[in-house]
A and B are shown apart, each in its own frame.
Chain A
């Protein structure tokens, strides 16, 4: 197999399904009506409800959902070979992930821009809405743990990326001052920011910072507690702005590079297409591809966080119902394309990376050793960064070290933003939960609220194995997606009531997802958790998993009760 062929097949699948399946969902399920005023028009207030250019919404939506997740998950899933993960990314996207994103957005549009959490409370039960918030809080702690482990791993395996990343923070602060405090010309400020970013990569190349993973974890914990309390213009805003350039540049450069490499005859896949059904992945144990794949590839195929993004602000800004397909469905496809690039690059150059670094992974032991060695040598991002760099070097002659540093910075920058976000949201959620529980005032303090999430997350990352933390995070994420998709399936079946069998296009994926994730987490609880040596990880992750499973069972019971209600009860909600 060849990288150019795979990338072109991916493009063909996504374009083909967008214009066939996607349009069918739009016309037959959602029944999107260009003449029906969206909340952006109907409730226009010039502040929250404002119609936006669809390309702007698409760009914002994609930048919000694309981070380190669609890179790390598929990189680890290569243990099963390149083909299973790729098929899950493609067809998981088409039939589950993109459907989930699109329907979360459009159901929100039909409910005046209310979130999918609110809609779940309305269509299923109030406690479903509560379960949603609990899932989110646990997910955020696991996000801090898993992404903290990712970043500390990047900094250990690629010390130049550590320098570049910390300098990137400084660059963001300077850019914030230039644009928002001193208000220099926007284009000039942007050019200065990008040049400083290139400078940061160059300095990182020259002056790498060496430290242990534990030192980095402490540094990251302190950084994120402070960063998440700063005014947004100082760091978060300018950093997020520069991240958008990194993302699009990396994606376009990589996509073109692996097409060129394929055309030049240097893009042949050397990694095995398929190793074994039960490669050693989750917890280092033999993991059956189904049902455990969602515990590894989360964001590249399907992610519950996307429903929050789509039904948060995007639905309030949709100008026309027909724009929803590009934003929701198309945005997820673009993320799937990013994951396709990750898989292709490792499939072409992964074996070479292992040989160059003298890591004992061969074609013969790929299934049993890939994930274990990648995590042991802190290569979960470097395997992608180096593979990407080799491809870019072969295609365009760009320095391997420079390109690898760029790719590592790309992942680190997004993971750092995710840490910041997780801390802010964790603080917000904790305070909301303490408010509901009528807890003493000191428990609602913002520094305490931030510290709880960060300290818990860092403690888990300190002693826990990545092959336990990442699946735990993915599992919670996928359960969140399950709530959103089951809510969407109720909305479709009871409110939209499409003709023919189109409601099954949503119900079947929703039930398949619920069954898959539930079985995966049961397997995780029974097979993986008992073998964890670190007691904090074992009992914390075990407890979170048990709570998640109990909430999941409650969810399907509520769904079933809601399903049994006659459609007439939902008729008043139809719009």
Chain B
């Protein structure tokens, strides 16, 4: 009985997930862009004033970690994009 309840709860959660997955992807991309604006000097993008960067830095710890992880997967972006959409 508990397994059936868990399955139905998961099913409901699946519908909720279906209502936000693309927005979450877009949010991740926007966060990516924001991190690049701040940290872009590593790859030659002109950075904003140092004082602004220093004030925002403590809030960017997670984003830096994510950016590092994304950099590792830069040679495999297509699948993440394709994997989200309904294609069949």
- A residues adjacent to B (C-beta < 8 A): 43, 45-49, 52-56, 58-60, 63-70, 113-118, 133, 136, 143, 179-180, 186, 190, 231-233, 236-238, 240-241, 243-245, 299, 303, 305-306, 308-314, 335, 414, 417-418, 420-422, 424-425, 428-429, 432
Contacts and interface: CB of A to CB of B under 8 A. Distances in A.
Given A232-B23, A312-B79, A59 B18 contact: yes
Contacts of B25: 232
A156 B81 CA distance: 33
Nearest to A121: B75
Given A55-B13, A60-B17, A232-B26, A299 B88 contact: yes
Given A117-B79, A312-B82, 10 more contacts: A48-B28, A53-B14, A55-B10, A58-B14, A180-B23, A241-B15, A244-B15, A305-B87, A311-B79, A424-B81
Contact of A237 (B15, B16, B19): B19
Chief secondary structure at chain B's binding surface: helix
A296 to B, nearest CB: 15
Given A179-B19, A237-B22, A237-B23, A64 B28 contact: no
Contacts of A190: 19
Residue of A45, A238, A303 most packed against chain B (CB within 10 A): A45
A133 B73 CA distance: 17
Nearest to A179: B19
B83 interface: yes
A425 B85 contact: yes
A88 B11 CA distance: 29
B63 to A, nearest CB: 9
A53 B10 contact: yes
B88 A66 contact: yes
A46 B86 contact: no
B15 A59 contact: yes
A100 to B, nearest CB: 13
B87 A418 contact: yes
B35 to A, nearest CB: 11
B13 A53 contact: yes
B42 interface: no
B79 A116 contact: yes
21 contacts: A45-B62, A46-B66, A48-B28, A55-B9, A56-B14, A58-B14, A59-B18, A60-B17, A60-B18, A64-B86, A115-B83, A116-B79, A179-B19, A233-B22, A237-B20, A308-B83, A311-B79, A335-B88, A417-B85, A424-B81, A425-B81
A309 B80 CA distance: 8
B71 to A, nearest CB: 12
A422 B20 CA distance: 20
A432 B80 CA distance: 14
A424 B85 contact: yes
B51 interface: no
Given A233-B26, A237-B20, A309-B87, A48 B79 contact: no
A115 B88 contact: no
A48 B88 contact: no
Contact of B17 (A45, A56, A186, A425): A56
B88 A236 contact: no
A429 B77 CA distance: 10
A288 to B, nearest CB: 26
Contacts of B73: 48, 113-114
A309 B83 CA distance: 4
A372 to B, nearest CB: 26
B1 interface: no
B66 to A, nearest CB: 5
A309 B7 CA distance: 22
A244 B69 CA distance: 32
Nearest to A313: B83
Contacts of B75: 118
B88 A69 contact: yes
B53 to A, nearest CB: 21
A136 B82 contact: yes
A31 B18 CA distance: 31
B65 interface: yes
A306 B9 CA distance: 25
A233 B26 CA distance: 9
Interface in B12-69: 13-23, 25-26, 28, 31, 62, 65-66, 69
B14 A306 contact: no
A429 B76 CA distance: 12
B14 A59 contact: yes
